[in-house]
Structure 1
Amino acid sequence: MNNDKPLISVILPAYNVEKYIKQCLMSISKQTYSNLEIIVVVDGATDNTLSIANGYSKLENRLKVIWQENQGSGPARNNGLSHASGKFIMFVDPDDWIGDKLIENMYVVQKEQDVDLVLSGFTDVVICGQQEKNDRIHRYDNETLLTQKSVRENYIRLFSIGALGAPTRKLFKTDIIKNNDIKFPDLRRSQDIVFNYRYYDFVQKLSICDEISYFYRRDPSIYVLKLKDNYYRTIILIYKDILALHKKWNINLNSNTLSNVMFTFIIAAIESNFRNGADVREILDSPEIIEIVINSNSKRIDRVLTRQAILRKYILMVKILVYVKAKLKNKLK
């Protein structure tokens, strides 16, 4: 790879990932695209994350390590953006890793039509006790949208298939981010969705590539436990923002598709509150949450039953259905 290729800044927000960060950094160092700037923002880690990152920086001269007091991954990514000097930005989570050619392949796709955003698929790696296994491949067909209208018309479709959730497995233009002061909001969960649609508002052209070599490590047994009792307010924020964007764009919105996606978030919020001993009545009393539930139209029997229980505020039934669904899902892993 010649150094006449543009600099790409790879930003990692890192908190207590001593078990995984070295594997992640090695996967970035081995990229066939070599003109990289690697920025690790250590977000108040209390384990050996900082010392491992500092040690690796002695072996990798493209790596810069920044320390900040614990604020969350959103502010950590904002900190990384403020230090980024690349023409493009890519986010990688430090408990994930990437295939050797991922960045090069995404850059080649970007260069073909000078698109503002490149999206790729990914591979789920599920933690099962002391073991890990590839669980599911999320592959998207190669596709390029060359007009702003087509980009905006396809937002809900791309959001519903998971292509616009995490900030990872994407290639962003730094100028769009900095010229429009696009930042991650100070939210502990789903701030990445907000960043993505704030950026998407300025996208004129985008490409989707069939790459699946971003390896997303997750532990389904603890995810919902990390959600705050008031996470439903974040769901409402996202829902309202997406509605407002489509109104601004003058693009018809498929409210059923949007509500089906948001319904999944609602179930996670309810399960988290049950497991953490928090009250769910505030969630079920929210007019916006009820609006989402009414507009959802999934035909899956578990969702049909849960939807009816929520609308009738049968809290015990909601609890039983949510727990049964979680048990079945974990049993299938």
Structure 2
Amino acid sequence: MNNTPLISVIIPAYNTIDVIEETLKSIEAQTYQNYQIIIINDGSTDGTGEFIDNYCKNNNKAIAFHQDNYGVSITRNKGINCAAGEFVCFLDSDDTYATTFLEKMLSRQQQTNSNIVYCSFNRIKKNNIVKEILPFKEGNILKSFIEKSFHFSGILFKRSFLLRNNIYFDDDLKICEDIFFTIKAISQTEAYAVREQLFNYFYRNQSVTNSIYSTELYKSDIKTWSRIQSYLRENYDKEDKQDIIELVYF
């Protein structure tokens, strides 16, 4: 019997002791069960690391790694390199999956033999739930993504595609690093959609994007989008290149 997981779910964790259990429960509840959970403790100081270790002792599908606080990009890159699955997903440690997330994403991948499958999500703030409506384009979706980006946690990537094209997170970027990663991926392959909201994004006041350091975040945002523009100028060669460049110009 082959015990190799088909999907690896990569979870960076930093000081989320109050919420990570719900995240993990949402994976345990999946209707598709041939998965691996990679939890990477990024230097937490609130007991998250100890919780992860205890969790992995009681769940043979989960594996824990611990490191100093290097940031989410280095953490996710480590997950890509350590993953055993043919496919990888990235889930933040304070968000949750719908029970059919893995099943429906994998089913769409098998229908299309694609490198990327994406879905929509529910945006949750306190008791308010907003269903995010996406255009659900398929094929070359780069323009559509830049105009209305879908959430990074709602994507299934073929791991061999990422490795073959050296698609990783830029570890010096502090904001929108997930958007740049996604742009690098979807600019090189076709993507297909599951037209449903299959995970829950929880808006929390302690989010980095709500930090008081707004000036630094603004500078980081400019840095990321400048790099995106340079990347597309140098690497994107499809007919709509000029339109794409203009979309990311500021």
Q: TM-score, normalised by structure 2?
A: 0.88
Q: State which structure, 1 or 2, has the greater radius of gyration over its C-alpha atoms.
A: 1
1:139 aligns with 2:138: no
Q: Which amino acid aligns with 1:133?
A: N
Among residues 147, 150, 156, which one is paired with 2:143 in the alignment? 156
Q: Per the alignment, in what secondary structure is the counterpart of residue 249 of structure 1?
A: coil
1:109 aligns with 2:108: yes
Q: Which amino acid aligns with 2:211?
A: L
Give the superposed CA RMSD.
2.5
2:98 paired residue number: 99
Q: For 1:20 and 1:226, locate their aligned partners in 2 and report how far apart those are by CA, in whole Å.
A: 23
1:307 paired residue number: none
1:181 paired residue number: 166
1:199 aligns with 2:185: yes
1:170 paired residue number: 155
Q: Per the alignment, in what secondary structure is the counterpart of residue 157 of structure 2?
A: strand
Is contact 2:146–2:247 with CA below 8 Å preserved after alignment? no
Q: Deviations over 1:187-222 (max 9, x none)?
A: 22211112111222321x210121212100112575
Q: Which amino acid aligns with 2:117?
A: V
Is contact 1:9–1:88 with CA below 8 Å preserved after alignment? yes
Distance 1:162 1:144, change over 3 A: closer
Is contact 2:17–2:51 with CA below 8 Å preserved after alignment? yes
Q: Which amino acid aligns with 1:155?
A: L
Is contact 2:176–2:224 with CA below 8 Å preserved after alignment? no
Q: Per the alignment, in what secondary structure is the counterpart of residue 197 of structure 2?
A: coil
Q: For 1:72 and 1:101, locate their aligned partners in 2 and report how far apart those are by CA, in whole Å.
A: 30
Matches for 1:219-258 after TM superposition, within 5 Å: 219-220=204-205, 223-225=209-211, 227=213, 229-231=215-217, 232-242=219-229, 244-245=231-232, 248-250=236-238, 251=240, 252-253=242-243, 257-258=247-248
Is contact 2:229–2:245 with CA below 8 Å preserved after alignment? no
**Runs of 5+ consecutive residues of structure 2 not aligned to the other structure:** none
Distance 1:233 1:99, change over 3 A: closer
Is contact 1:141–1:209 with CA below 8 Å preserved after alignment? no
**Superposition deviation, residue 246 in structure 1:** 5.5
**Superposition deviation, residue 162 in structure 1:** 2.1
1:275 paired residue number: none
2:53 paired residue number: 54
1:317 paired residue number: none
1:65 paired residue number: 64
| 113-122 or 231-240: bigger deviation | 231-240
Q: Per the alignment, in what secondary structure is the counterpart of residue 9 of structure 1?
A: strand
Q: For 1:71 and 1:18, locate their aligned partners in 2 and report how far apart those are by CA, in whole Å.
A: 18
Structure with the bigger percentage of strand: 2
Q: Per the alignment, in what secondary structure is the counterpart of residue 211 of structure 1?
A: strand
Distance 1:107 1:246, change over 3 A: farther
Q: TM-score, normalised by structure 1?
A: 0.67
Between the aligned residues of both structures, percent identity stands at: 26
Q: Deviations over 1:70-100 (max 9, x none)?
A: 0111111111111101100001111001111
Higher relative contact order (CA 8 A, sep 6+): 2
Q: For 1:54 and 1:208, locate their aligned partners in 2 and report how far apart those are by CA, in whole Å.
A: 35
Is contact 1:14–1:42 with CA below 8 Å preserved after alignment? yes
2:22 paired residue number: 23
Q: Per the alignment, in what secondary structure is the counterpart of residue 23 of structure 1?
A: helix
**Runs of 5+ consecutive residues of structure 1 not aligned to the other structure:** 127-131, 146-150, 260-291, 293-333
Distance 1:227 1:84, change over 3 A: farther
Is contact 2:225–2:248 with CA below 8 Å preserved after alignment? no
Q: Per the alignment, in what secondary structure is the counterpart of residue 103 of structure 2?
A: helix
Is contact 2:147–2:247 with CA below 8 Å preserved after alignment? yes
Q: For 1:237 and 1:88, locate their aligned partners in 2 and report how far apart those are by CA, in whole Å.
A: 26
Q: Per the alignment, in what secondary structure is the counterpart of residue 56 of structure 1?
A: helix
Q: For 2:212 and 2:87, locate their aligned partners in 1 and report how far apart those are by CA, in whole Å.
A: 31
Distance 1:190 1:96, change over 3 A: same
Is contact 2:23–2:96 with CA below 8 Å preserved after alignment? yes
Q: For 2:227 and 2:10, locate their aligned partners in 1 and report how far apart those are by CA, in whole Å.
A: 29
